[in-house]
Structure 1
Amino acid sequence: MDPAETSAPPAAAAVKAPARWWRSWWRSLSPGRQDRFAALAPLASVLMFMAAIAVSFWYLRTEEIEREKEALKRDVEYAQQRVRLRLLERQEQVMRIARDLSNGDLTRSDFVGRAEALISQYPELQAITWIDERRRIRASHAAPTVTSNQLRVSGEVLKTGEAADLFRLARDMQQPVYSQPEAGSDDAAPLLQLQVPLSPQGKFGGVVLAEYSIDSLLRYATPTEVLARYAVTLIDGQGRTLAGTPLAPRHNALLPWTTRANEYEIPVSPVGNGLVLRAQAYRTSLGMVGSGLFWLVGTLSAMTTWMLIATWRHTRRRMQAQQALVAETNFRRAMENSILTGMRALDLEGRITYVNAAFCQMTGWTQEELIGQTPPYSYWPEAEYEKLHANLREELSGKTVPGGFQVRVRRKSGTLFDARLYVSPLIDARGQQTGWMTSMTDITEPNRVREQLTASHERFTIVLEALDASVSVAPLGSQELLFANRLYRQWFGSQTSGHLEMVAQAGVLPAHGGGVDGHEDDSLMGLLASDPLAHAHSENAEIYRPDLGKWLEVRSRYLNWVDGRLAQMVIATDITPRRQAEELAARQAERAESVSRLITMGEMASSVAHELNQPLTAISNYCSGMVSRIQGGQLSEEALLAALKKTAHQAQRAGQIIQRIRAFVKKSEPNRTLADVHEMVSEALELASIELRRHNVRLTHYVAARLPQVMADTILIEQVLINLMKNGAESIAQAQRPPALRSVELRVVPRQVDGCDVIEFSVQDTGRGLAPEVLAHLFEAFFSTKSEGMGIGLNLCRSIVESHHGRMHAENLYNADEVTGCRFSFWLPLANTAETTINSAATSTPGTIA
């Protein structure tokens, strides 16, 4: 044994064993059998290879035919759905016309207009006819391609045998009905008829007959990709071709079973079996298969295997690049469709080559309608053709504006909107310019807001300039004047000095604020809007400007300026006429009060004289008695002293009466002090009792004990009480009450009004009361129920009470339905409440905040 064979590995030995067996078997054959085997073995190999090739081709062909049939079935069903949707859309439009005719919303001219619009828009529609319930044609409109023998004339009646049978079927079913009538002549194109019944008020009122061109329906409703792959035809129920060209039979001697073309048929809904869509594949076999193909396959098998490996590796790299390209394309398309900016691409001649979804949404036109358009474009407004043509010429010439330019764009609906266009050159992969890319942004809303802001600013400026008040705004801690209207400029010029002087004089800011001396104060700089000072309420003050000779009412408010700084707005109004009127009114009121008191004392003159006559008579009597008794020597020293005391008392009483009357009459300036209610009432009672006794009226009074003091002018309040009690006595005298009912009652009690403690004064009489029309005008000036009255007494009384921050009220007293008298009441606040109110009012004096 060879040492090399003994050292061979077991695997190599296993491979060599069959080879040794094959050589031993071959050597054992005879030479003839070896020749036969040598000739048959390649033949058998070739036959086996050819058989394998044939079986492989047959199997692959069978699989391919099945796939073609599946693809054909899917494509035909898709085409059938497109045709069905086309028919349903036209049916819906015809049904709308029928519904409007049933409702009486369409006239004959309107019907012809609607029919003409539909026929011109949809080429498959050939004619639309309105037929009444007696089968008489009311109106009809047909396309120019309809032959003369297919036209329907208004006023004619449907002939029996054509649309009449379909008419009866539509009338019986009350549903849209399709039919495919027989062609009248060889040159007439087959038509598809649709009759939609009319139902005015639930009754049959005729039909709307729509006729379709089956050839146009096939041409425009079938997808172009289906027409490119198959021979598509429309046939009727008997197999006759209505539209399209079928394939001619093919002859194949080697594959006779492939003479019939691969085809598929499906009825077109909603027409039914009367209209069938058929598609035939253009190629259903591999063609002639010769022996050269088999040998070619055998020869190229090795090369194919080698090339397949190389191609697989190359294809793998291409697929990776293609997937990356698809992902990038999808990403860019998604990003492009999500942006709100419209994109439009133009070639160098101005033809639109691309628009994105946003551009279509802005204009209302679809991508198919826009691509390929040349100027003027459909979204250009007709009134601006020249301007837009000029812009386009500048755009194509390369004169682009960096900030873009604004144009008006017309939507498909006819509305206009403002847009801003930005243009940039479109460069291809080789660096050459192929056109221009334009981005369009809708700026209608920004323009509207800008116009509104401009108009608002103009209105604001006009109003402020026309104000009769001076308005100025200045930042805190600075001498810059942010705003000043016309009146401010007339008074103070364009400087901040007037603003700062008014602020300082009114006391709105601290003395150091405003930098009047020329140096800015930074103590208030940097205040935020949340600071309490920024939210302070407006403050008022009345100041006098000697340089203007005017009284000004200054109102101040802090605000946050547009740049974030805290500023102060000052509004100064000229109130000089008002102050002069107030001073004049005050002087007139004082004169009226004095006149009223004089009138009162004049009316009480006789009573006062009678009142003074008593102490003077007593003095005279005392003096006469003392003289007679002294002459008779009958007067002792003690009796003389007592008589002299009584005489002095009566003289003092007369002097007090005269002094009180003089003080009452000569009162001029108001003098509010802390007043005791009891003393004030006592003084008024003593003066009023004189008048009441003259009228034979009984006076009673009740004053609550321990009443707090009030802040009042005692003489003025006494005047009010005397007037009220005197009026009550006069009312009783006019009513001629009996002596038992002739009384006036004065009550002074504490009360609470709106949560505040007050002192209420009420004067109640037993007169005949006040009429309703008198109550309505009781406190008006120069209104009086007395023939000799001036009508200022009660008006002055109310003015005096209100000047003391009180209120006066009058009401009738009733016993059932009978008026038993009248009550006048008024109240005054207590001293602490009155001081608070007076101090608040005192702030309105010049130089203080009101």
Structure 2
Amino acid sequence: MKNPFRLPRRASLSRPWRWLVPLLLVLLFLAVLIWLPWQARQMEANERQEQLIADTLWVEQTLRFELARSEEALAVLGADLVSKPPTPEQLQARLNQMFKNGHELRRVLWLGADGAVLAHHGLELPPAGLAKVGRETLEMARLTRAGRYTEPYGASAHAPGMVDYYLPLFKRGEYAGSLVASYSLKVLLDETVPWWFAQDNDLALLDRDDHPIAERADGGPGRGIYTHRRALDLPGSSIVLATDSVKGTPRLLPNLLVGSVIVLALGLLLSLMTLWRHISRTLAAEAALRQQMAFRTAMENSLLTGLRARDLEGRVTYVNKAFCQMVGLSAEELVGKKPPMPYWAPEAMKDYEERFAGVLAGTITPQFETVFQRSDGVRVPVLVFEAPLVDSRGRQTGWMSSILDITDRKRA
């Protein structure tokens, strides 16, 4: 039996597997959104560390190049001193030019084979003369016949460290003396390291015991997060260039866009949960309504009174089982039909048409007797009760009829 109020059957959305796929996708989406900022933070940290390493290597090569340029100038001067010594005026002029070319150069000594000072330019020697470490370096340079640096010395809270370079001189294979150049490591950092690198990094030159002997921190002290060390690789000296970036760790949410995406994702999850709750409630309400409709349909089918619903145009929208048995037609043959109806008796056709005109005009007879014709031609006297059919908003949508078979009453 057709029912205009029957809800369409659908697969239950409350089954767990129907929610599992979208839930997993949303969780995966949130996991990716949480992972992406963290991964971006890690990548940015790695990039900063790699950039610091590359810049430190570049600074180390720059420092080494500056010292190598000075070594080359000393080698040329030493060769001239051995082969054809210049006059004192010429020697001082050449030394002046060397000091102008490299401000880190603080003192140059020309020592004879016996260790006597033959020429001097720049800072005065301390009263004690060359330190013990200098004499050892001088002896090692003479034995190896190659230039050699001392370990850094003289560093204190008020004075930066120094380092000496000993270049042995030979004439016809015989030791003929040495050139000794003293460098200020602080000036070397100030003059060689570019300002943009010093703004972002705390630089220090360390001795073999990791004590700072020269520092430069134009941008403030480093934070100890991005650091790198690189040995200057000076023969005879263990000086290490240490860089410490002033930058901190990258922020987890570097910009408003990432934060907005995460907020939108959380809003999406909240919306999904709200939708899930709403659908669950809707499904529960539909199940309860379906149960009530099944109960009502069973109750209607058990009635002996025929029920018929029509819209405002007279079209049949609903019939119950008792009405179908009364006229001998199925619900499929009746629902959707407009007058003239297949159960109208020919002899009462005029009365039917008058009452149908009343239906269209919106005025009907609440109670009347008439005759229906069954599909087999048998006449069935009936008593019809008509009432307006009103929806939930109070608007009339049609007419509901209750039909009683009064055949037995007529016979009596």
Structure 1 length-normalised TM: 0.27
**CA distance in 2 between partners of 1:28 and 1:199 (Å):** 96
Aligned partner (choices 230, 235, 242) of residue 213 of structure 2? 242
Deviations 1:342-386 (A, max 9, x none): xxxxxxxxxxxxxxxxxxxxxxxxxxxxxxxxxxxxxxxxxxxxx
Q: Distance in 2 between matches of 1:184 and 1:286?
A: 36
> Could you say if the C-alpha distance between residues 188 and 60 of structure 1 is closer, same or farther in structure 2, counting changes exceeding 3 Å?
same
The 1:121–1:288 alpha-carbon spacing in structure 2 relative to 1, beyond 3 Å, is: same
Between the aligned partners of 1:239 and 1:183, the Cα distance in structure 2 is 15
Offset at residue 125 of structure 1 (A): 0.9
- Aligned partner (choices 187, 190, 195) of residue 161 of structure 2: 190
- Residues 1:237 and 1:220: Cα distance change in structure 2 (over 3 Å): same
Cα deviation, residue 185, structure 1: 5.1
Correspondence for 1:286: 250
Counterpart pick for 2:65 among 78, 85, 88: 85
Which residue of 234, 240, 251 corresponds with 1:276? 240
- SS of equivalent residue, structure 2 residue 109: strand
Tell whether the 8 Å contact from 1:196 to 1:207 is kept in structure 2 after alignment.
Answer: yes
Whichever residue aligns with residue 148 of structure 2, its letter is: V
Query: Per the alignment, in what secondary structure is the counterpart of residue 172 of structure 2?
Result: helix
Mapped to 2, the partners of 1:209 and 1:218 lie a distance apart of: 21
Q: How does 1:11-160 map to 2 (within 5 A)?
A: 24-26=11-13, 49-142=29-122, 151-152=124-125, 158-160=129-131
Aligned to 2:377: none
Does the 8 A contact of 2:168 with 2:178 survive in 1? Answer: yes
CA distance in 2, matches of 1:135, 1:206: 7
Report what 1:170 is aligned to: 141
Q: How far off is 1:299 after superposition?
A: 4.2
Q: Do the aligned partners of 1:136 and 1:158 also contact (CA within 8 Å) in 2?
A: no
The code of the aligned residue for 1:90 comes to S
Give the CA deviation at 1:274: 1.1
CA shift, 1:176, in A, is 0.6
1:62 to 1:221, Cα distance in 2 relative to 1, 3 A: same
Deviations 1:30-88 (A, max 9, x none): xxxxxxx9xxx99x888655532232122222322333333222222222222121111
Alignment of structure 1 residues 518-529 onto 2, 5 Å:
none
CA shift, 1:135, in A, is 2.1
Distance 1:186 1:134, change over 3 A: farther
CA-to-aligned-CA distance 1:795-847 (integer Å, 9 cap, x gap):
xxxxxxxxxxxxxxxxxxxxxxxxxxxxxxxxxxxxxxxxxxxxxxxxxxxxx
In the TM superposition, what whole-angstrom CA distance separates every residue of 1:631-675 from its partner, at most 9, and x where no partner exists? xxxxxxxxxxxxxxxxxxxxxxxxxxxxxxxxxxxxxxxxxxxxx
Q: Does the 8 Å contact 1:230/1:281 carry over to 2?
A: yes
Once structures 1 and 2 are overlaid, which stretch shifts more, 89-98 or 62-71? 62-71
User: Per chain length, whose mean CA-contact separation is higher, i.e. which structure has more relative contact order (CA < 8 Å, sep 6+)?
Assistant: 2
Report the equivalent of 2:231: 267
From the superposition, tell whether residues 168 and 108 of structure 1 become closer, same or farther in structure 2 (CA, over 3 Å). farther
- Pairwise CA RMSD of aligned residues? 3.7
Q: Report the alpha carbon displacement of residue 94 of structure 1 after superposing the two structures with TM.
A: 0.9
CA spacing shift, 1:134–1:157, aligned 2, 3 Å:
farther
Contact 2:207–2:240 (Cα < 8 Å) also in 1: yes
Residue 284 of structure 1: CA displacement? 4.7
Per-residue deviation at 1:122? 1.7
CA deviations over 1:557-607 (Å, ceiling 9, x no partner): xxxxxxxxxxxxxxxxxxxxxxxxxxxxxxxxxxxxxxxxxxxxxxxxxxx
* Letter aligned with residue 181 of structure 1: P
Structure 2 equivalent of residue 219 of structure 1: 190
- TM-superposed CA distance for 1:137, in Å, is 2.1
Deviations 1:742-793 (A, max 9, x none): xxxxxxxxxxxxxxxxxxxxxxxxxxxxxxxxxxxxxxxxxxxxxxxxxxxx
Q: Which deviations, in whole Å up to 9, do the C-alpha atoms of 1:185-237 show, x marking residues without a partner?
A: 54332112111112133211221111111112122223444334433322222
Deviation of the 1:160 alpha carbon? 4.6
Structure 2 residue ranges without an equivalent (≥5) = 1-7, 266-412
Q: Is the 8 A contact 1:127 1:140 kept in 2?
A: yes
Shift of the 27–175 alpha-carbon distance from structure 1 to 2, 3 Å rule, reads closer
Q: How far apart in 2 are the matches of 1:208 and 1:269?
A: 21
Are residue 298 (structure 1) and residue 262 (structure 2) matched? yes
Q: Distance in 2 between matches of 1:190 and 1:105?
A: 32
In 2, Cα distance between the equivalents of 1:167 and 1:26? 91
Please name the residue that 2:177 is paired with: 206
How far the C-alpha of 1:175 sits from its partner, in A, is 0.9
- Pair 104,126 (structure 1): closer, same or farther in 2 beyond 3 Å: same
Q: How does 1:780-791 map to 2 (within 5 A)?
A: none
Q: Counterparts of 1:172 and 1:84 in 2: how far apart (Å)?
A: 24
Q: Secondary structure at the match of 1:286?
A: coil
| 8 Å Cα contact 1:162-1:181 kept in structure 2 | no
Report the TM-score, using the length of structure 2 for normalisation. Answer: 0.53
SS at match of 2:234: coil
User: 1-side partners of 2:102 and 2:235: how far apart?
Assistant: 19
C-alpha distance 120-215 of structure 1, shift in aligned 2 (>3 A): same
Q: 1:121 to 1:233 in 2, by over 3 A?
A: same
Contact 1:177 1:194 (8 Å CA) reproduced: yes
Contact preservation (8 Å) 2:170, 2:176: yes
Instruction: Write out aligned runs for 1:668-683 (5 A).
Output: none
- 2:332 counterpart residue number: none
Displacement, 1:184?
6.5
The alpha carbon displacement at 1:132 in A equals: 1.7
| Counterpart-to-counterpart distance in 2, 1:55 and 1:231 | 32
1:806-817 matches, cutoff 5 A: none
CA distance, structure 1, for counterparts of residue 260 and residue 153 of structure 2: 56
For the Cα contact (< 8 Å) 1:214–1:243, is it kept in 2? yes
Paired letter, 2:178: V
Is the Cα–Cα contact under 8 Å of residues 231 and 239 in structure 2 kept in the other structure?
Answer: yes
| Deviation for aligned residue 1:128 | 0.9
Counterpart amino acid of residue 91 in structure 2: F
Structure label with greater radius of gyration: 1
Please give the alpha-carbon distance, in whole angstroms, between the structure 2 residues aligned to 1:117 and 1:241.
30
Query: Secondary structure in 1 aligned to 2:106?
Result: strand
Aligned partner of residue 123 in structure 1, secondary structure: coil
SS at match of 1:163: helix
**Is contact 1:135-1:157 (8 Å) kept?**
no
1:394 match: none
Query: What is the letter of the counterpart of residue 60 of structure 1?
Result: A
TM-fit CA distance, 1:109: 3.6
Query: SS state of the match for residue 171, structure 1?
Result: helix
Would you say the 8 A contact 2:230–2:241 is kept in 1? yes
CA contact (8 A) 2:141 2:148 kept: yes
> What is the one-letter code of the residue matched to 1:281?
S
1:314-364 per-residue CA deviation (whole Å, 9 max, x = no partner) reads xxxxxxxxxxxxxxxxxxxxxxxxxxxxxxxxxxxxxxxxxxxxxxxxxxx
Q: Quick one: structure 1 residues 131 and 25, their matched pair in 2 at CA, closer, same or farther if it must change by over 3 Å?
A: farther
| Structure 1: stretches of 5+ with no match in the other structure | 1-19, 30-36, 251-259, 302-850
Contact 2:41 2:252 in 1 (8 A): no
